[in-house]
């Protein structure tokens, strides 16, 4: 939403991105480490993802480590916005700024520098601004258009290669002039100021009034030059085509805006609020009335003499080696490459005193616990504690499933509520708030 001109520079932006590739063990003692730990334990409401900690989201689960985005960053010379509505701005990227998922990088290994500048100008033309509507998909009925990568690749664009120097200067000069001002909407202003369906229909039935943007000299000069790129050599014919293009563009967005106003009116009459997973889980938590909600790190020491302090690494998952004669009491942490047994020796690991202790540590680690934990030294005591942990979790989960089913008939939503309740049961209800405070 900050983009208002066909160019993006660092001074125009109010956000920075920090890219991190180091493993967690090399980040200990930093604010980055605290922030990543917060992301591993807290959950965030999302319509697309389940209410799970960030590393378990589909886009993160396939990365190792889950927060490493450095290999995905390849800034290009121009951005294509994924979402658009009544404005058409395709910003150039002279400083090779990193874009987020709402933009796509447009790059080329074959275009010359001058041809890249010509392409930027062509992409900002009203012609492309109109054509894109026939390749993307509308998100609902209110005129918000999404063009995914597959859509953008199909859009017909005049070829910037072979454009002579004089015409290239006309194109680049026009888009530079547009870069010195705020680019407006392609729809008439009186419709944007209107919020009544009845008045909107009256305006749409009246004479067409071009928007301020479509009357700008630099935009008309750009569109004129684009038609010349397409081979229209007669100046009078180009002027007629530009006028027709602007009128058809205004009519297209006029019809979209009328429907948008009608739908806004309908939604205001029938609006109903849905409870979030967090709200439903909080309500179920209060109703659970469990006899003991002590976080697992503290509960594990109750009733047993826990005389051994072990430091659990933060890498996940935790696993015991299969069919191993020499390290059966060693718990390994982090992902293991298939078919590469030598990689086991480089992974974080924890040597336990006995099999019972190793099984207990594996279970606690996979429940999300890390850092220093006090556990029993005796094998039988560890096995008893593991059985108690599993029994406690099963009892809590059964209660949580019962409460979730009482709050929604959506099985997917029930699962998310239960997952959230189990995380609170293991880590403590206030773990997210405390982690957030420490990160601040």
Ordered DSSP codes for 21-79: -S-GGGSTTSHHHHHHHHHHH-B---SSS-S-BGGGSHHHHTSSSTT--GGG----SEE
The residue among 431, 120, 418 whose CA lies nearest residue 294 is 431
What mean pLDDT is predicted for residues 265-274?
67
pLDDT score of 434 more than 50? no
Average pLDDT over residues 269-294: 81
Q: What is the pLDDT of residue 99?
A: 87
Give the confidence band of 324 by pLDDT, cuts at 50, 70, 90. low
Cβ neighbors of 106 (< 8 A, separation 6 or more) are: 76, 77, 78, 79, 80, 123
Per-residue pLDDT at 1 exceeds 90:
no
With a CB cutoff of 8 Å and minimum separation 6, the contacts of 314 are 24, 25, 37, 40, 333, 370
pLDDT band at 440 (very low <50, low <70, confident <90, very high): very low
Span 282-291, average pLDDT: 85
The yes-or-no verdict on residue 208 having pLDDT over 60 is: yes
Q: What is the overall mean pLDDT for the chain? A: 87
Residue 129 has pLDDT above 90, yes or no: yes
Q: Across-strand partners of 137?
A: 146
| pLDDT value for 435 | 46
Share of the chain above pLDDT 90, in %: 52
Lowest mean pLDDT segment, chosen from 105-109, 140-144, 301-305: 140-144
Average pLDDT over residues 45-63: 79
Buried b (16+ CB within 10 A) or exposed e, 35-44: bbbbbbbbbe
Strand partners, 348: 333
Q: Give the predicted TM-score (pTM) of the model.
A: 0.60
pLDDT, tens digit (0-9, with 9 covering 90-100), for 216-243: 999 999 999 999 999 999 999 999 999 9
pLDDT of 270 over the 90 cut: no
Is 438's pLDDT higher than 60? no
pLDDT of 325 above 80: no
> For position 344, what pLDDT does the model report?
53
- Respond yes or no on whether the N-terminal peptide bond of residue 111 is cis (omega within 30° of 0): no
Interval 4-25 mean pLDDT: 90
In which residue are the tokens 């800034």 written?
75
Higher pLDDT, 101 or 362: 362
pLDDT digits (tens, 9 = 90+) for 83-116: 888 899 999 999 999 888 889 999 999 999 999 9
For the cut 60, the answer to whether the pLDDT of residue 432 exceeds it is no
- Looking at residue 365, its pLDDT comes to 93
For residue 390, pLDDT over 70 is answered with yes
User: Does residue 433 have a pLDDT over 70?
Assistant: no
Mean pLDDT of 394-421: 91
Helix axes 165-179, 113-123, angle to 10 degrees: 60
Model confidence at 437: pLDDT above 70: no
Q: N- to C-terminal Cα distance for the chain?
A: 26
Distances (CA, A) of 306 to 103, 155, 310, 360: 53, 66, 10, 12
What value does the mean pLDDT take over residues 367-381? 91
Q: Mean pLDDT over residues 13-22, rounded?
A: 88
């Amino acid at each position: 939403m900050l983009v208002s001109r066909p160019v993006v520079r660092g001074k125009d932006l109010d956000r920075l991105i920090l890219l991190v590739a180091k493993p967690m063990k090399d980040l200990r003692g930093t604010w980055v480490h605290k922030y990543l730990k917060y992301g591993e334990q807290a959950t965030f409401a999302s319509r697309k993802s389940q209410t799970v900690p960030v590393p378990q989201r589909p886009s993160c689960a396939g990365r190792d480590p889950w927060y490493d985005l450095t290999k995905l960053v390849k800034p290009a010379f121009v951005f294509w916005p994924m979402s658009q509505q009544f404005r058409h701005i395709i910003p150039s990227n002279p400083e090779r700024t990193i874009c987020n998922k709402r933009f796509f990088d447009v790059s080329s290994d074959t275009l010359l520098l001058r041809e890249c500048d010509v392409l930027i100008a062509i992409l900002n033309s009203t012609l492309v601004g109109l054509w894109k509507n026939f390749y993307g998909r509308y998100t609902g009925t209110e005129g918000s258009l999404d063009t995914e990568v597959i859509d953008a690749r199909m859009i017909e664009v005049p070829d910037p290669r072979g454009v002579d120097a004089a015409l290239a200067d006309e194109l680049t000069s026009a888009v530079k002039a547009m870069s010195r001002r705020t680019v407006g909407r392609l729809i008439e202003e009186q419709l944007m100021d209107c919020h009544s369906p009845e008045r909107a229909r009256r305006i749409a039935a009246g004479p067409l009034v071009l928007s301020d943007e479509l009357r700008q000299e630099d935009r008309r000069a750009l569109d004129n030059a684009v038609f010349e790129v397409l081979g229209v050599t007669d100046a009078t014919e180009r002027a007629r085509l530009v006028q027709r293009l602007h009128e058809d563009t205004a009519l297209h967005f006029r019809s979209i805006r009328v429907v948008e106003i009608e739908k806004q009116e309908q939604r205001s009459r029938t609006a109903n609020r849905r409870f979030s997973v967090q709200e439903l889980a909080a309500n179920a938590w209060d109703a659970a009335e469990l006899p003991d909600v002590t976080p697992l790190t503290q509960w594990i020491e109750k009733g047993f003499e826990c005389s051994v302090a072990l430091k659990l690494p933060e890498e996940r998952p935790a696993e015991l080696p299969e069919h191993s004669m020499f390290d059966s009491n060693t718990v390994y942490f982090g992902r293991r490459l298939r078919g590469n047994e030598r990689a086991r020796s480089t992974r974080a690991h924890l040597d336990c005193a006995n099999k019972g202790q190793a099984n207990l540590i594996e279970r606690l680690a996979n429940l999300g616990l890390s850092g220093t934990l006090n556990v029993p030294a005796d094998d039988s005591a560890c096995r008893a504690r593991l059985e108690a942990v599993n029994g406690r979790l099963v009892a809590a989960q059964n209660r949580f499933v019962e409460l979730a089913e009482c709050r929604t008939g959506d099985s997917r939503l029930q699962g998310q509520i239960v997952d959230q309740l189990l995380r609170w049961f293991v880590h403590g209800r206030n773990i997210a708030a405390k982690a957030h405070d420490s990160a601040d």
